[in-house]
Amino acid sequence: MKERVVLAYSGGLDTSVCVKWLQEKYDAEVITLTLDLGQQEDFSEIAARSKATGAIKHFQVDAKEEFLTNYVLPSIKTNGMYQGKYPLATALGRPLIATKLVEVAESEGATAVAHGSTGKGNDQVRMDVTVRALDPNLKVIAPVREWNMSRDEELVYAKKHGIKIKPSNSIFSIDQNLWGRSIESGPLEDPNTEPPDSAFEWVTPPHKAPDSAGYIEIGFVEGVPVTIDRSEMNGLELIRHVNQFAGRYGVGIIDHIEDRLVGIKSREVYEAPAALTIIEAHKDLEQLTLTRNELDFKAGVEREWSWLVYSGLWMDPLRFALDSFVRTTQRRVSGTIRVKLYKGGLRVVGRSSKNSLYTSALSTYTKASTFDQSSAVGFIELWGLQSRIAAKIASDATGEKNVEHPKRKQSQALKQKSK
């Protein structure tokens, strides 16, 4: 019997060529799988293209709800941002694609799965590691990584084998799902070149955005966004709404130098209006409802969680453990946040929560204050105790030539001034 391979299929040049290449090199029967993660593709056309390339079967899975519930929402609760910039859109989608590859492979009796990742990117790691964690017996094939063809060579190969490729009007390489859109290649490979306005589809360039500010109020229940301007929305509808609203005001463009897992410094451009707006609102609500100790510790958890997701370790036990911690913190993260958007900028301008740790009676400077200022004297006495002792010891240690002390420096400066 021929070997069966399940291929993650986008319908683009790379994966269309992959079908024929797998048939030739491995003498394999190829089954294709496409996931709808909110990328708004013509999935009937993709299915037709799969059939035309010679795949024996095609699966199309609507995974938007699963992607939202099991991947995006945990990322919101964690404020998932790699290097403080990238909201992990593609990184979150890859382990779900890998999971579905394994499911289809097991149901169809396949011995291998394949994907179109290159040997230079992060996706190969995310796909390979997740597949092997779920089913170590499955072989993982990455044709693009093996054949090392240029795009021009791929086009020649496609023409030779009668593979029809949908013409692209874009000079960029695009990947998108409901949480973000990545834009690569072309002129963006020069890190000193500003992205042209034509690169963006979700975000109005700030200089073309409305001249008046827009306001949006996001309501959260236990860390999950559930309302917009006091109106309840399901998760997918809410993200689409924020994406369109924030994008209209020029919010959501990310342009930075990213450290890829394989060691390459890469110039990355993203559009993520909903992700940036919702995470900024969520962080502000946490600031209102969580203690300083919780916030300080969670900041480290957020960095580690984002690194694990970015680097393809979605299945790592540490990620599950960190999720448990984050879920615990979110029990009090309920309330509403009002965000102002203007010409590409966003700023939280209002917040409220029944779990707020902010108490106006303590914070006010009016006579209504309930804060006992006399308590501050004893607090300061104890708070600075060790610092004062250390300062005295340093001041008394005049015999040590290398001892530097602000008091001594000030005395020397005064002496020089008096002369």
pLDDT tens sequence across 98-136: 999 999 999 999 999 999 998 889 999 999 999 999 999
Among 132, 121, 115, CA closest to 21:
115
CATH number of the domain located at residue range(s) 4-168 in this protein: 3.40.50.620
- Angle, helix 151-160 to helix 13-26, in steps of 10 degrees: 60
**What's the CATH number of domain 174-290+333-358, 3.90.1260.10, 1.10.4160.10, 3.20.20.450, 2.40.50.140?**
3.90.1260.10
The Cα-based distances of 133 to 31, 57, 136, 405 in angstroms read 21, 25, 6, 57
> What is the value of pTM for the model shown?
0.91
> At 406, is the pLDDT very low, low, confident or very high (cuts 50, 70, 90)?
low
Burial class (CB in 10 A: 0-12, 13-18, 19+), 388: exposed
Q: What token pair was written down for 85? A: 């910039």
Neighbours of 398 (CB within 10 A): 10
| pLDDT, the chain, mean | 93
What gap in Å lies between CA 275 and CA 337, rounded to an integer? 15
User: Is residue 410 predicted with pLDDT exceeding 70?
Assistant: no
Residues with a catalytic annotation lie at 14, 94, 123, 173
In this structure, is the dihedral angle defined by the CA atoms of residues 163, 59, 243 and 121, taken in order, positive or negative?
Answer: negative
pLDDT (0 to 100) of residue 413: 63
Domain ranges within the chain, ordered by starting residue: 4-168, 174-290+333-358, 370-414
User: Is residue 398 predicted with pLDDT exceeding 70?
Assistant: no
Region 255-267 average pLDDT: 95
Region 4-18 average pLDDT: 93
What gap in Å lies between CA 71 and CA 81, rounded to an integer? 13
pLDDT tens sequence across 133-153: 999 999 999 998 988 787 788
Query: Could you give the dihedral angle defined by the CA atoms of residues 91, 330, 280 and 220, in that order, rounded to the nearest 10 degrees?
Result: 110
Q: How far is CA 384 from the centre of its chain?
A: 41
Among 259, 272, 257, 262, CA closest to 192:
257
User: Is residue 380 predicted with pLDDT exceeding 70?
Assistant: yes
pLDDT (0 to 100) of residue 163: 85
Neighbours of 385 (CB within 10 A): 10
Contact indicator for 290, 230 with CB cutoff of 8 Å: no
Region 17-36 average pLDDT: 95
Which residues lie closer than 8 Å to 235 by C-beta, 6 or more apart? 65, 68, 69, 72, 73, 224, 225
> At 12, is the pLDDT very low, low, confident or very high (cuts 50, 70, 90)?
confident
Q: What token pair was written down for 222? A: 């236990």
The highest-confidence range among 184-188, 191-195, 403-407, by mean pLDDT, is: 191-195
pLDDT (0 to 100) of residue 408: 60
